[in-house]
Amino acid sequence: MTTPHATPRATTEGTVYTVTGGDWDEVVETAAKSDDERIIVNMGPQHPSTHGVLRLILEIEGETVTEARCGIGYLHTGIEKNLEFRNWTQGTTFVTRMDYLTSFFNETAYCRAVETLLGIEDDIPDRANIIRVLLMELNRLSSHLVCIATGGMELGATTIMIYGFRDRELILDAYELITGLRMNHAYIRPGGLAQDLPPGAVDHLRELLKTLRKNLPEYDKLATGNPIFKARMQDVGYLDLAGCMALGATGPILRSAGLPHDLRKTDPYCGYETYDFDIPTAETCDAYGRFLIRLEEMRQSLRIVEQCLDRLEPGPVMVGDKKIAWPAQLALGPDGLGNSLDHIKNIMGTSMEALIHHFKLVTEGFRVPPGQAYAAVESPKGELGVHVVSDGGTRPYRVHFRDPSFTNLQSMAAMCEGGQVADVIVAVASIDPVMGGVDR
């Protein structure tokens, strides 16, 4: 390979290429000729107020942003490609790591797509669906809390940051109790859940609800009427309904433009049509409206969690089809979480067939009939869609995530251009992008 920018040179170690930027002189010359006030600022990829490794390229004139572009891909981990080399159940372990703040939404969306392909979406036990909804709504709370907390921090409001992370921590404790992990749960599986709620979980959650109900109004008191907060947020990051539709923005951004579009209402899944909750909207199209919507959505999520807890009835959490359902029941032993002793006793001591069945299902996984399916859930950030293609094998042929952060981040330019540099931070924070989801 020879290019003007990489001259080869033979050494004893082999050929060495010296890579140089070819046209720098030209670039510098043009830059020198242009207006003095025109500066291009690289914000990120390592910058605390760009939410992870997001790189913002801003062309500014004085304090005004004339052009804004995003550089993404710094956190690309090839999850979609990797999924094609694991079985369908192992997939949840990967997708939970995409948008790491909305793990349960990724898992549910993926599992619903797989269940559609299997044709078992109506056979998911009620208890599994209720727990899915419960976890998703807790997840909505924890995700919005991070958004509000980090968004506040970026404005210099450190108290709201401390409060947000304090409350999120309580929710993470509940996750830990239920799934064993604070993040990256892989708890929701095709066909149901990895295991049932542990004893004491419902009481713990009721206590948690009480605490959150006490804590949530504090955000209102701290920020909603705060004149500095309002001055920084109002009319910043403006994107009206036409802009949202064209750019495909969903979630709080779309609802801040006044359209009450929420997949939980318009295209219900997991039994959302049976829950009682409201979709908050705002007419302001700005960052402040999105903040208010997130606050209200958290209150609505608490309502849904409460209804879930009231509905929980004992029952299975996995489909009845033994060709799909994970054979092992997990239990906590002295050496950590693993297959329950009863199950081990059964497969090792009693039933040879059960052992074969367990072995086949765990090593090979189940087969999914060929075809494709699309499943979408309303994640805290918007429409999270999963396109899954199967070729009839035990592994996905192709999985594509339409991550809302990825799509919504496109609207950054429309929100920021013509505004102040300081407002870029507010606008990006109001989009609430998580780079794990953007880059996947």
Partner 1 sequence: MSDEQRSGSSPDDQHDQPADEAGSSVPSARGQAAEVIGVRKGMFGTDSGGGDTSGYGGLIRTVSLPGAASRPYGGRDGVFDEIADELEGALEEQGLLPADAIEKTVVDRGEITFHIAREHLVQVARTLRDDPALRFELCTGVSGVHFLGDKGRELHAVYHLRSLTHGRLIRLEVSAPDSDPHVPSLVEVYPTNDWHERETYDFFGLIFDGHPALTRIMMPDDWQGFPQRKDYPLGGIAVEYKGAQIPSPDQRRSYS
CB of 144 to partner 1, least distance (A): 22
Nearer to partner 1, 148 or 376 (CB): 376
Residues 328-347 that bind partner 1 (CB under 8 A): none
Out of 16, 39, 246, 341, name the contact with partner 1 by CB under 8 A. Answer: 246
- Asked whether position 299 contacts partner 1 by CB under 8 A, the answer is no
- Asked whether position 116 contacts partner 1 by CB under 8 A, the answer is yes
Q: Is the dihedral angle over the CA atoms 52, 54, 55, 61 positive or is it negative? A: negative
Out of 53, 58, 60, 72, name the contact with partner 1 by CB under 8 A. Answer: 72
Task: With beta carbons less than 8 A apart as the criterion, state whether 394 and 427 touch.
Answer: no
Nearest 5°: phi and psi at 397? -80, -35
Residues 75-104 that bind partner 1 (CB under 8 A): 76, 78, 80-82, 84-87
Q: Is the dihedral angle over the CA atoms 294, 278, 187, 306 positive or is it negative? A: positive
- Asked whether position 416 contacts partner 1 by CB under 8 A, the answer is no
Burial class (CB in 10 A: 0-12, 13-18, 19+), 194: buried
- Asked whether position 259 contacts partner 1 by CB under 8 A, the answer is yes
CB of 89 to partner 1, least distance (A): 13
Which span (74-82, 283-291, 295-303, 337-345) binds partner 1, by CB under 8 A?
74-82
Task: With beta carbons less than 8 A apart as the criterion, state whether 75 and 435 touch.
Answer: yes
- Asked whether position 55 contacts partner 1 by CB under 8 A, the answer is no
Nearer to partner 1, 99 or 439 (CB): 439
CB of 250 to partner 1, least distance (A): 8
- Asked whether position 393 contacts partner 1 by CB under 8 A, the answer is yes
In angstroms, the CA 438 to CA 440 distance is 6
- Asked whether position 24 contacts partner 1 by CB under 8 A, the answer is no
Nearer to partner 1, 174 or 388 (CB): 388
Residues 359-378 that bind partner 1 (CB under 8 A): 363-365, 367, 369-374, 376
Nearer to partner 1, 305 or 388 (CB): 388
Beta strands across the sheet bearing 64-71: 38-43, 55-61, 64-71
Task: With beta carbons less than 8 A apart as the criterion, state whether 69 and 415 touch.
Answer: no
- Asked whether position 316 contacts partner 1 by CB under 8 A, the answer is no
Burial class (CB in 10 A: 0-12, 13-18, 19+), 103: buried
With CB under 8 A, what is the number of residues at the site for partner 1?
Answer: 56
- Asked whether position 261 contacts partner 1 by CB under 8 A, the answer is yes
In angstroms, the CA 97 to CA 99 distance is 6
Percent helix, strand and coil across the chain, each to the nearest 5: 50, 15, 35
CB of 262 to partner 1, least distance (A): 11
In angstroms, the CA 419 to CA 67 distance is 10
Task: With beta carbons less than 8 A apart as the criterion, state whether 433 and 380 touch.
Answer: no
Helix segments in 220-316, DSSP class H? 227-233, 241-247, 252-255, 263-266, 287-311
Residues 156-175 that bind partner 1 (CB under 8 A): none
DSSP calls for 62-107 = TTEEEEEEEE--TT---HHHHHTTS-TTTHHHHHTTSSTTSHHHHH
Task: With beta carbons less than 8 A apart as the criterion, state whether 259 and 281 touch.
Answer: yes
- Asked whether position 48 contacts partner 1 by CB under 8 A, the answer is no
Nearer to partner 1, 168 or 261 (CB): 261
Nearer to partner 1, 47 or 398 (CB): 398
- Asked whether position 7 contacts partner 1 by CB under 8 A, the answer is no
In angstroms, the CA 407 to CA 178 distance is 31
- DSSP 8-state class, residue 6: E
Out of 20, 158, 266, 351, name the contact with partner 1 by CB under 8 A. Answer: 266
In angstroms, the CA 33 to CA 333 distance is 72
- Asked whether position 383 contacts partner 1 by CB under 8 A, the answer is yes
Task: With beta carbons less than 8 A apart as the criterion, state whether 114 and 312 touch.
Answer: no
DSSP calls for 368-402 = --SEEEEEEEEETTEEEEEEEEE-SSSS-SEEEEE
- Asked whether position 323 contacts partner 1 by CB under 8 A, the answer is no
- Asked whether position 18 contacts partner 1 by CB under 8 A, the answer is no
- Asked whether position 385 contacts partner 1 by CB under 8 A, the answer is yes
- Asked whether position 23 contacts partner 1 by CB under 8 A, the answer is no
CB of 315 to partner 1, least distance (A): 22
Nearer to partner 1, 124 or 155 (CB): 124
- Residue ranges binding partner 1 (CB under 8 A): 72-73, 76, 78, 80-82, 84-87, 116-117, 119, 121-122, 245-250, 259, 261, 266-267, 363-365, 367, 369-374, 376, 383, 385, 387, 389, 391-395, 397-398, 400, 402, 406-407, 409-410, 439-440
